[in-house]
Amino acid sequence: MNRIRSTVPVSVAALLIVVLAFSAAEAFESPPVTEPVRDTNGTVVGQAEIAQLGELEDPKINESSGLAFSRRSEDIIWTHNDSGDGPFLYAFDLAGRSRGTFAVERAPAYDWEDMAACEIDGVAHLIAADIGDNKVARDFCTLYIVEEPEVGADISHTGKLSIVRRIDFQYEDGKHDAEAIAVDADGASIYLITKKSKKNLPCHLYQLDIPSESTTNPVTARIVCEVDIRKVVAMDISRDGSRMIVLTYDEALEFERAPDESWGTAIQKPPRQLPMPWRAQGESICYGPDNDTLYLTSENTPAPIWRVRTVPVSPAPAPAEENAEGAEPQP
């Protein structure tokens, strides 16, 4: 995995200095900073509020590489480490307090890069994506689907999770490195965006239908369209299916989808560029239950947890009316 430093907005960097004054052991929320939301031409089209909610207290989470907001709780987020850790899923609350560590049984962790949460047949599930391929040499990649366990708000749990479905897959056009997956709102399709290819060909958005059972042979992820986005490290789709966030080392791009529109069409439209806080190695992002708020972590220790949400733009004050010199005031 490449180690590339993100751009640091001045005001967000100042916020980071304030945050570091707090004790890592305490739950805290930093004073929010408001930054502009821009279109691809740099025009301000809105504003977003950025705040650090806390730090992940579990020292085992040292390379948070994927995020998924729980479908069973309004206060739980799931993550996993990058390559080098075992097949573990970690739960934490919005203040960063540990709420559980679960091992996925019979699931090798070759290079887990992202994860997603979804409902399949009305049941909450988590998907761990073993899709990293830095050398672009893997014969197939694997997705592990497990039922999301219930974790309490005041206690940390440990346990094991059985694989509900294992999906081995190949890309229709050859081998690729990827670090980003998302599940559509209907829980029927998984989308991936590649990071690089063996011959430095264009990156693409791929679609993979979720099979009803584990696959015995690799299934095919089909090309949806080419995307002009480089070094994609994470993505997510909002629960209502109206938004897709695509994270790179340098920016976060949000695409909006109309009710009758495909993602292949939506991702070709100009996105909004959302401001992001500086992170030492930010490769994770997910939507919250409100379909708007975003949560982020990073791969350093202790890992911060950030919240980014759009806020209404304050209208400019109306100019005061002035009477002409010598004119009688209007009744």
The answer to whether residue 23 scores a pLDDT higher than 80 is no
pLDDT of residue 10: 38
**pLDDT tier at 197 (50, 70, 90 boundaries)?**
low
Tokens of 49: 């509020």
The answer to whether residue 149 scores a pLDDT higher than 90 is yes
**pLDDT tier at 183 (50, 70, 90 boundaries)?**
very high
Contact of 323 with 331, CB cutoff 8 Å: no
Once rounded to an integer, what is the mean pLDDT over residues 56-70?
94
C-alpha to C-alpha distance for 296 and 315, rounded to whole angstroms: 29
Contact of 153 with 93, CB cutoff 8 Å: yes
pLDDT of residue 198: 61
CA 298 to chain centre: 11
Contact of 112 with 64, CB cutoff 8 Å: no
**pLDDT tier at 18 (50, 70, 90 boundaries)?**
very low
pLDDT of residue 322: 53
pLDDT tens digits along 209-239: 999 999 889 999 999 999 999 899 999 999 9
Strand order in the sheet with 88-93: 64-69, 76-81, 88-93, 98-104, 157-161
For residues 280 and 47, which has the higher predicted lDDT (pLDDT)? 47
* R_g of the chain computed on alpha carbons: 21
Could you give all domains of the chain from N- to C-terminal order, each with its CATH number?
A: 10-311 (2.120.10)
The answer to whether residue 22 scores a pLDDT higher than 70 is no
The answer to whether residue 285 scores a pLDDT higher than 90 is yes
Report the chain's terminal Cα–Cα distance, integer Å: 72
The answer to whether residue 195 scores a pLDDT higher than 80 is yes
Once rounded to an integer, what is the mean pLDDT over residues 179-190?
96
Threshold 0.75, pTM exceeds: yes
> Range with the lowest mean pLDDT among 8-22, 43-57, 80-94, 273-287?
8-22
**3-state SS class at 316:** coil
pLDDT of residue 257: 98
**pLDDT tier at 14 (50, 70, 90 boundaries)?**
very low
C-alpha to C-alpha distance for 245 and 177, rounded to whole angstroms: 19
DSSP state of 2: -
- How many angstroms separate the Cα of 301 from the Cα of each of 61, 64, 172? 8, 9, 38
**pLDDT tier at 132 (50, 70, 90 boundaries)?**
very high
